[in-house]
Amino acid sequence: MIFMKKVIKSIYLLSAITLGLTGCKNEPILNPNAPTIEAIIKNPSIGELNNLVTGSESAMRVELPLYTDIVSIIGREYYYINTSEPRYVQELAGDKDFSLGSSTFYAGNSWLSRYNVVKNCNILLQAVQNCTFLKNDNERNGYIGFAKTIMAYQLLLNLNNVYENGIRVDVADPKKLGPFVTKDEALTAIAGLLDEGATALKNATVLYTLSSGFAGLDDAEGFRKFNRALAARVALYREKWTDALQNISESFVNLPLTNNNLYVGAKHIFSASNGDLLNDMKSLLNGENEARIVQAKYLPEMEAGDDRGSKVAARNKALSAGGLTSNQDVNIYPADVSPVYIIRNEELALIKAEASIQNNDLATAKDILDNIRQIHGLAPTPETTKDGLINEMLKQRRYSLFGEGHRWIDMRRYNRLNQLPLDRQGDQVWKQLPIPNQETTK
């Protein structure tokens, strides 16, 4: 419990990160020199509420590269070579001579960052109830819908990492934390938070300004569509196929897919502005001391003509580290200000395809998968059976969502971790990370 108590110390400082919102005209805060959490909760100004929103959105990017590297390495999408940190190719990559540690940076850093955002949102929820500057419940609902949606998303990322080890959901009071709950209990709670957020957003007035990463989704109706998109993802993880389809229908999905709408969705933005963050997952082409090298089977197992081969770039010479070798670099983020997607239209199409398969609507699923294949330069799939279409769907998720944090989770959901490639004799694919040891420190 000591670990989570550390979260509160830096919460409100999160809003100091600019997030590229230099044009945002929030009301001035009541105590600009030294606003305290207690003062903010007691009776915040609208400016202070909006700073909490801005800080929460901004803080979602903190340790995002680490989260993405963890799930991508274990999911055998790529390996992160960093000569100053060999544990990426040793422990995370499953080297037979190493095991995962609970006191490591990969166990604790992303975990803490996600709970930082959750705590910021909990402060926002408390503050909203005490704000005398809000005119009505609709204005309160705008903040409640935001907070519960973002909390659910951050909890989901932590659950993705630790899986059956479970997470804490009730962390509103750092002096009296709720217990660890099971994976299924956590998913139920996360789905519940999203539903509560969606309900609030039905009757909401938005007084805050989100970054351009939420362009088109930054009013109450749009943010609710983002909420329902996340709810559809969670419904897949819960195998609630009908719920997934209903949530998709209320999201920002736009079918059929075209070259112009694949990347419509919500994203994290980065900038070189003073106080903001850069995208540390920028392509490190031909790096030697630091590089993200593509797992060797990504291109050979891709069908000829698939334009998703552009997500990787040939190296001038192969790179080897820790017994892992590749002649391809990850090339998803060409610049250090490239956006990182939270959820986008192509994923929603794949969610609808998967839920349709599992609901035995194979014709709809095949139409969607053929649409995805056509967009990427391929002929329709010959698969027509349920099992065949599941394989096809997982293949399309592999290539369409490469490096976006899904492969490990997908293969785990379908009990196929043993189908992920092993590049060294004796390597293992981890099912989950350990709970950070600080969580169990008394």
DSSP string covering 92-145: TTT-TT----TTSHHHHHHHHHHHHHHHHHHHHHHHHHH-TT--SHHHHHHHHH
| Mean pLDDT in consecutive groups of 10 residues from the start of the chain, 442 residues | 38 41 38 63 93 96 98 98 97 97 97 96 96 96 98 98 98 93 98 98 98 98 98 98 98 98 98 94 97 98 98 98 97 98 98 98 98 98 98 98 98 98 97 92 48
pLDDT in tens, 355-376: 999 999 999 999 999 999 999 9
Identify whether the C-beta of residue 135 lies closer than 8 Å to the C-beta of residue 173.
no
Over 134-182, what HEC string results? Answer: CCCHHHHHHHHHHHHHHHHHHHHHHHHHHHHHCEECCCCCCCCCCCEEC
Euclidean distance between CA atoms 238 and 244, whole angstroms: 9
Contact predicate 344/264, CB 8 Å: yes
φ/ψ of residue 217, rounded to 5 = -125, 20
- d(C-alpha 326, C-alpha 150), whole Å: 37
81 Cβ contact partners less than 8 Å away, ≥ 6 residues apart? 88, 89, 287, 289, 290, 291, 292, 293, 319, 321, 324
C-beta neighbour count of 390 within 10 angstroms? 17
Contact 7, 116 (CB under 8 A): yes
**Strand-pair category, 340-344 with 265-268:** antiparallel
Q: Please state whether the peptide bond connecting residue 256 to the residue before it is cis, i.e. omega within 30 degrees of 0.
A: yes
Helix/strand number for the chain, H first, E second: 13, 8
> Which whole-number Å values give the CA distances from 6 to 2, 11, 103, 416, in the listed order?
7, 10, 16, 37
pLDDT of 69 reads 98
Q: Which of 64, 92, 75 is nearest to 398 (CA)?
A: 75
Cα 288 to its chain centre, rounded Å, is: 28
Structural domains of the chain sorted by starting position, each given as residue range(s) with its CATH number in brackets: 1-20+29-253 (1.25.40.390), 290-295+302-330 (no CATH), 344-417 (1.25.40.900)
Q: What percent helix, strand, coil does the chain show, rounded to 5?
A: 50, 10, 45
Closest CA to 12 of 133, 97, 168, 122: 122
Q: What is the model's pLDDT at position 15? A: 41
Query: Which of these, 49, 38, 36, lies nearest to 131 by C-alpha position?
Result: 49
Q: How far apart are CA 203 and CA 420, in angstroms?
A: 45
